[in-house]
Structure 1
């Protein structure tokens, strides 16, 4: 009996680990799309290549101030969403694009096509109820098809900007809120800074001086936040209203994959 229980525990642990590992590494294939490892600060772009105003219009109409999404409302605006998706897919990003332009493009591409994925399967309780949501290459960029996981892991995460984890939204309660405006090359550094502060100080983390229960995002992508040799505590303290002590006790919260739908 003891051996049976131990085996069940090990299998359960491997299943959880495997699931988390799949989520954090899904879609490692850039499909030849540009994702240079930019260094230094992001420079504003005064004359951006892409106009994301239609996405802002849709987000302001269908995302509330808590980041919840009115998917039924999005369905009624399906024609406008399809117009925006078609515009995104018609682009051919290249190495000549600035970091700001690429970041804004890939973040909006990820978020808009996540909404599209939910709408194609709506009503649905969780994005995880959809077959291969992060690994299926259903997103067209020029002549290339790429997955959500590919955009996140092989493009955005390669750009030396950990704040992208607070900007992309996986349609779940525990995800960072879907911002109710598009990311733009003109002000993306400011937008990412605001997204980081909002997420870290939200109820998706519980922070006191001596301890913290952090979003599982900081566990799955720890290397992205500590790549410069700093600790998770040091990264959190850059944005947290409550500063953690260097030896603070850290634990990670369970992730709520229920759909971030307006109720």
Structure 2
């Protein structure tokens, strides 16, 4: 019986891993105050990024193993500060920075709480591929999962494909956790930089023999990049130093190993 269950899980998990959620509009969060003067500095989050992000090859990695108890408390305080505020009282740009930083900080917190772990996909329930459907925060009295933030708030309310370069899933294959906390007054510049960096890295686009290997985000979320392969190529070529051929033979790949420094 146990062997059959193990075999079944082995067959199901690869399917689950490629089942990306669709953007699912959640009307509750579709409100903002264009006249708001409120801002967040995200200073505490920036302090942690400055302290624990490390460049290694083409990756920017987070040194989860080195996080001190004091900095764990700083991270918890930062998340508590964000979730104590109703983002619907903010401008749209302040909201976007709020949600992206909250997503990334909550993901880092999940890894730290469960460290050591080889991959974020090891977290979650027995039949889960990762923790994305687990409640991680509560905002305005509403429990939220990471999937809620990304797929029910960010993607439908800001239909910008560059969001995929902003949120980080603690994996080597993911666009890097950005070294600067997102800020409302620099969003476009930061998103452009994130898109350029990923697309010009091997984990975004790589040539292997006569084929091109693209990140699986261009497969899973093809609808966000125009809906077909040619639209994906056109998006990539907006940023790529060496253009991807329109007739490129394409495969997809993604590395779920944890984005931590290697010896």
TM-score (normalised: structure 1): 0.82
Q: How does 1:154-173 map to 2 (within 5 A)?
A: 154-158=152-156, 159-173=158-172
CA deviation string 1:58-94 (max 9, x = no partner)? 1011111331101123343111111111111111011
Distance 1:198 1:126 in 2: 23
Gaps of 5+ in 2: 1-6, 126-130
Aligned 1:1-263 pairs, distance under 5 A = 12=11, 16-21=14-19, 24-25=20-21, 30=26, 32-34=28-30, 49-65=39-55, 66-76=59-69, 77-94=71-88, 97-132=90-125, 133-158=131-156, 159-204=158-203, 205-207=205-207, 211-226=211-226, 231-253=231-253, 255-263=254-262
RMSD over aligned Cα atoms? 2.9
| Structure with greater proportional strand content | 2
SS at 2:251's partner residue?
strand
Unaligned stretches of 5+ residues in structure 1: 1-7, 37-42
CA shift for structure 1 position 17: 3.4
Deviation sequence 1:223-252 (CA, Å, 0-9, x none): 001059961110110011111222222221
1:167-210 CA-to-partner distances (Å, cap 9, x unmatched) read 111011111111122000010110000000000001202159x8
Count of residues in Structure 1 that have an aligned counterpart in Structure 2: 241
Deviation at 1:139, TM superposition (A): 1.2
Deviations 1:73-122 (A, max 9, x none): 3343111111111111111011x533321211111010000011111111
TM-score (norm 2): 0.82
For residues 31 and 177 of structure 2, the distance between their equivalents in structure 1, rounded to whole angstroms, comes to 23
* Per-residue deviation, 1:145: 1.1
Q: Larger RCO: Structure 1 or Structure 2 (Cα < 8 Å, ≥ 6 residues apart)?
A: 1
